[in-house]
Amino acid sequence: MNGEKTLRAGLIGLGSMGRNHARVLHGLAGVQLAGVADPVAAQDAAPGSVPVFRSVAQLVDEGIDYAVVACPTALHEEVALELAAGGVHALIEKPIAPSVRSAETISKAFADAGLVAGVGHIERYNPALRELRARLELGELGEVFQIVTRRQGPFPARIADVGVVYDLATHDIDLTAWLTGGSYESVSSATVARSGRVHEDLVAFVGHLSSGAVTSHLVNWLSPLKERVTIVTGEHGCFVADTLTADLWFYANGSQPTEWEGLRQFRGVSEGDVTRYAIVKREPLLVEHETFRDAVLGKEADIVTPEQATRTVAVAEAVLEAAARRTTVPVGPGRPVASV
């Protein structure tokens, strides 16, 4: 990269997501994938004959500059603290940790060591959502009234240690705060478990944001239909982002009145133009890695910070508490508030 230092990167975990990270790291400009740590992976499991070690300590001894943490969420704190103690920057898969306390411990360790830490909330790098955020910042929607997300699909066999709130809903919590620049003030929710596991398989929850907007999220891994949709409604119409295809549409409030009385009463606002935007569609995981690489090199880079990721975990905790208590739970004093 124009004479810049080639960074030596490590990867911890060669599960489903870890293999994707390995693929991107192996071809990432300015980065050499120096090794992988996984206690059970085959010695030839990493791309390009990259060595596979059995422990994080062995990987750190290889002299890496940064590591990607893609092991189960329950192990994030232990692994992250070992990396921080070894002077290694880290990109940690979301969620950053299984609790606010654990997330705060990770955040403090990297801050105290003067190291860069980022969290892999990959939806921030989805082309459709990046385009949507840019247009919201330009005021094209006017005041935002509501954010709705739907994230559902079949059960992922890769997940064993958390339910849908931590595995999937944290995407929607983070992207909602990021898109609006707002914060969750309260949440109410309901969960069910239907697959025989101890963790929830479905969650439906609503939240009130500091901006006055309301948000609702439907998340499950019980559906044969795979869906990843974000709808933002405001005073000038609504944006619809499909993050599976990285498509973005804008449905404008129309300026032409509907003369048919019965139809006007049914439809509410008059119909306007529908626009489907032409967007450059780069792979979100690659953009995430490029961004974190630049942060490690000391460049200005829009990474997801541990503090932001901790606030997302705080909302996830509130969602589970609200479901257990069957009541609305404030996300306020005593809890970090999810905002960016």
Contacts of 240 (CB under 8 A, 6+ apart): 229, 230, 231, 248, 249, 250, 251
Q: Return d(Cα 45, Cα 35) in angstroms, integer.
A: 11
Please tell me the pTM assigned to this model: 0.91
Closest CA to 231 of 137, 146, 127, 173: 146
Identify which has the larger pLDDT, 203 or 158.
Answer: 203
Based on the domain organization, do 194 and 227 belong to the same domain?
Answer: yes
339 within a domain of the structure (yes/no): no
Q: Percent of the chain beyond pLDDT 90?
A: 82
**C-alpha torsion 58→3→46→69, nearest 10:** 60
Instruction: Determine the structural domain holding residue 296 and report its residue range.
Output: 7-122+286-304
Look up residue 250 and give its two tokens: 């804008």
pLDDT of residue 258: 57
CATH number at residue 57: 3.40.50.720
43 within a domain of the structure (yes/no): yes
Closest CA to 136 of 232, 35, 273, 13: 232
Contact 309, 95 (CB under 8 A): yes
Q: Tell me phi and psi for residue 11, to 5 degrees.
A: -130, 135
Based on the domain organization, do 72 and 205 belong to the same domain?
Answer: no
Q: Is the pLDDT of residue 333 over 60?
A: no
Based on the domain organization, do 86 and 62 belong to the same domain?
Answer: yes
Based on the domain organization, do 132 and 256 belong to the same domain?
Answer: yes
Q: Exposed (0-12), middle (13-18) or buried (19+): which is 121, by Cβ within 10 Å? A: buried
Based on the domain organization, do 220 and 210 belong to the same domain?
Answer: yes
338 within a domain of the structure (yes/no): no
Cis omega (within 30 of 0) on the bond before 330?
A: no
pLDDT of residue 75: 96
Report the phi/psi class of residue 13: left, alpha or beta, with left for phi > 0 and alpha for psi in -120 to 50.
left
Based on the domain organization, do 106 and 227 belong to the same domain?
Answer: no
Q: Which amino acid is at 201?
A: D
pLDDT range class, residue 195, cuts 50, 70, 90? confident
Q: Return d(Cα 239, Cα 242) in angstroms, integer.
A: 10
340 within a domain of the structure (yes/no): no
Q: Is the pLDDT of residue 99 over 90?
A: yes
Based on the domain organization, do 151 and 258 belong to the same domain?
Answer: yes
Q: Is the pLDDT of residue 1 over 90?
A: no
Q: Angle 63-21-230 (CA atoms, 0-180°, nearest 5)?
A: 140
Identify which has the larger pLDDT, 194 or 322.
Answer: 322
CATH number at residue 266: 3.30.360.10
134 within a domain of the structure (yes/no): yes
Q: Is the pLDDT of residue 102 over 70?
A: yes
Q: Which residues pair with 232 in a beta bridge?
A: 147, 239
Based on the domain organization, do 193 and 254 belong to the same domain?
Answer: yes
Q: Return d(Cα 289, Cα 31) in angstroms, integer.
A: 10
Contact 157, 229 (CB under 8 A): no
Based on the domain organization, do 102 and 148 belong to the same domain?
Answer: no
Q: Is the pLDDT of residue 231 over 60?
A: yes
pLDDT range class, residue 160, cuts 50, 70, 90? low
Based on the domain organization, do 151 and 234 belong to the same domain?
Answer: yes
Report the phi/psi class of residue 307: left, alpha or beta, with left for phi > 0 and alpha for psi in -120 to 50.
alpha
147 within a domain of the structure (yes/no): yes
Q: Is the pLDDT of residue 71 over 70?
A: yes
Number of domains in the chain: 2
Based on the domain organization, do 321 and 172 belong to the same domain?
Answer: yes
Closest CA to 38 of 6, 70, 5, 9: 70
pLDDT range class, residue 194, cuts 50, 70, 90? confident
Based on the domain organization, do 295 and 261 belong to the same domain?
Answer: no
DSSP string covering 112-147, please? HHT--EEEE-GGGG-HHHHHHHHHHHTTTT-SEEEE
Overall average pLDDT of the 152-161 stretch: 78
Q: Is the pLDDT of residue 337 over 60?
A: no
pLDDT of residue 326: 96
In this predicted model, what pLDDT tens digit does every residue of 15-48 receive, in sequence order?
A: 999 999 999 999 999 999 999 999 998 888 899 8
260 within a domain of the structure (yes/no): yes
230 within a domain of the structure (yes/no): yes
DSSP, collapsed to helix, strand or coil, labels residue 211 as: coil
Q: Residue 168, Cβ neighbours under 10 Å: how many? A: 22
Q: Is the pLDDT of residue 245 over 90?
A: yes
